[in-house]
């Protein structure tokens, strides 16, 4: 069983912000698998799919970004999913806008949502898919930047990055080796 978690903020006012790239990618994953977010449990909105007979849970925490780990911990416990079955998708200010980077483990970096996931679960050895959001043309504090709306001229770039991230998450949930998924989708 796999748990694909897209990090973001649940209110409509955050829907088009940089910090909601994970939510958008999770929505793309659900669409690609032909399922909808119909249930709310463990402080998350979830969609359930099956890949090759294996259940896949796609989740968007409703806890707000900085407390995302609470929902992830609860979902992992409820569905008895270990670190090897967890995939987290989120925005990353440390990567150039539109870049996708997949890693099998790592730190939270500058991301408070990932800090929460790591603190709540106590693990760092899980797949993460990062969507780069840094724009060298914009120089405002990170907190203001991540909560600002994506510029219209960048919308297509981020739409493609979210779709690519969703495809990578699905490939991992199909059981593809992470090094092969990294080779195909990183960049």
Known catalytic residues?
A: 19
Strand 127-134 to 100-103 pairing: antiparallel
Cα angle vertex 177, ends 171, 178, to 5°? 80
Q: Transcribe 118-186 into DSSP letters.
A: HHHH----SEEEEEEEE-TT--S-HHHHHTSBPPGGGHHHHHHHHHHHHHHHHHHHTT--HHHHHHHH-
């Amino acid at each position: 069983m796999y748990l694909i978690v897209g990090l973001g903020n649940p209110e409509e006012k955050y829907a088009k912000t940089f910090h909601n790239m994970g939510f958008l990618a999770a929505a793309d994953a659900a669409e690609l698998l032909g399922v909808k977010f119909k249930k709310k449990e463990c402080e998350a909105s979830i969609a359930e799919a099956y890949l090759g007979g294996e259940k896949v849970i796609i989740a968007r925490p409703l806890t707000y970004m900085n407390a995302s780990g609470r929902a992830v911990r609860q979902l992992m416990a409820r569905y008895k999913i270990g670190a090897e079955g967890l995939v987290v998708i989120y925005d990353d200010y440390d990567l150039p806008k539109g870049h996708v980077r997949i890693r099998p483990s790592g730190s939270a970096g500058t991301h408070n949502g990932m800090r929460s996931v790591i603190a709540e679960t106590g693990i760092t050895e899980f797949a993460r898919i990062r969507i780069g959001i840094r724009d060298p043309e914009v120089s405002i504090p990170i907190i203001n930047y991540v909560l600002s709306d994506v510029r219209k001229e960048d919308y297509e770039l981020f739409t493609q990055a979210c779709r690519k991230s969703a495809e990578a998450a699905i490939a991992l949930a199909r059981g593809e080796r992470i090094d092969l998924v990294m080779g195909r989708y990183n960049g």
